């Protein structure tokens, strides 16, 4: 190609104003025109959706929580009802077992009562085993520290509970009216006096050749140790005949001792340690030892050949059974 020809064409285009013009864009119809994309974030529609979502959550979350609570309550209620049924079953079983035990105890008490009252019968009067005149003092029951009473001095200088002084005086007077000469040789004893009597008996037996152990147990058969003697109560008296004042087996054969054994109950006294009841009382037979229990009790005890221990046992069983 000739260079001059090219130069002329370039100049012609430049002169004509076409130099540096960009090509025209092709015409685009209305349908083919690209639409402008709308913005969602931050738009009104976005906030509408946000508000609706939060409102739905505000409504649904409590409903979900309430549903969970209802479910939990239902589970707990079912568990509680199960525990309640088991507890009721257990209580029913325990109640039945308790009823059986009570019935068994009642049966044993009735059997025991029938054994103790065989040939005796029911005590025909009201007995309160806590009354002062029924206080039990023996080898198994010491005198309670709370036991209090007032002493009265007899004509011979001995002391007794003031509540028995009148009946004791009447008994001694009636015996004297029948030509008997009775002598109260012992009544209320202090702890010191009881200890002296016990120790003196032990020493005397040891002088006869017994060991201390032998002398102690031999003395204990006839003399109570301190705090376990009825003489501490002021309700017990040792009575002998003036013609024979020894506390021995012969004393029981005197007319005074025989009269007392037959008549003491009329004045509220009992022969406290009768013959043949040593295992019950823990003390050998003493024809001279009398204990005040009241007239009704004394007559019942004497009539049925009982000891105070046996009488009180019957009374307590009757209280339990209501018979």
User: Per DSSP, what are the bridge partners of residue 50?
Assistant: none
For residue 115, give every residue at least 6 positions away whose Cβ sits within 8 Å of its Cβ, in sequence order, or none: none
Helical segments of the chain, H only: 3-15, 44-116, 165-177, 191-207, 212-220, 255-263, 278-281, 295-303, 308-321
For residue 215, give every residue at least 6 positions away whose Cβ sits within 8 Å of its Cβ, in sequence order, or none: 201, 202, 203, 205, 206
User: Per DSSP, what are the bridge partners of residue 153?
Assistant: 159
Q: Tell me which residue has tokens 């049924």.
A: 85
In 3D space, the residue among 290, 310, 106 whose CA is nearest the CA of residue 184 turns out to be 290
In 3D space, the residue among 230, 101, 234 whose CA is nearest the CA of residue 164 turns out to be 234
Annotated catalytic sites, by residue?
Answer: 286
The two tokens of residue 209 are 């050749």
The count of other CB atoms within 10 Å of the CB of residue 30 is 5
């Amino acid at each position: 190609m000739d260079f001059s020809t090219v130069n002329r064409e370039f100049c012609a285009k430049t002169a004509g104003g076409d130099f540096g013009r960009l090509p025209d864009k092709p015409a685009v119809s209305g349908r083919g025109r690209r639409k402008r994309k709308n913005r969602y974030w931050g738009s009104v529609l976005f906030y509408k959706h946000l508000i609706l979502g939060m409102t739905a959550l505000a409504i649904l979350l409590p409903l979900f929580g309430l549903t969970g609570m209802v479910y939990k309550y239902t589970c707990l209620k079912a568990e509680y009802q199960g525990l309640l049924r088991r507890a009721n079953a257990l209580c029913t079983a325990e109640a039945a077992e308790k009823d059986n035990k009570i019935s068994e105890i009642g049966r044993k008490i009735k059997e025991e009562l029938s054994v103790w009252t065989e040939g005796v019968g029911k005590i025909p009067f009201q007995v309160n085993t806590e009354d002062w005149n029924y206080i039990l003092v023996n080898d198994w029951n010491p005198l309670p520290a709370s036991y209090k009473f007032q002493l009265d001095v007899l004509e011979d200088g001995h002391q007794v509970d003031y509540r028995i002084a009148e009946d004791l005086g009447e008994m001694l007077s009636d015996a004297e009216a029948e030509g008997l000469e009775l002598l109260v040789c012992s009544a209320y004893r202090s702890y010191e006096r009881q200890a002296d009597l016990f120790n003196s008996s032990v020493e005397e037996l040891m002088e006869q050749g017994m060991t201390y152990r032998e002398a102690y147990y031999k003395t204990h058969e006839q003399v109570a140790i301190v705090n376990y003697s009825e003489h501490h109560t002021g309700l017990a008296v040792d009575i002998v005949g003036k013609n024979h004042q020894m506390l021995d087996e012969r004393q029981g054969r005197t007319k005074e001792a025989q009269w007392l054994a037959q008549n003491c109950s009329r004045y509220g006294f009992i022969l406290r340690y009768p013959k043949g009841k040593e295992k019950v009382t823990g003390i050998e037979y003493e024809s001279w030892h009398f204990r005040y229990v009241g007239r009704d009790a004394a007559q019942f005890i004497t009539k049925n050949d009982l000891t105070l221990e046996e009488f009180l046992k019957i009374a307590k069983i009757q209280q339990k059974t209501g018979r």
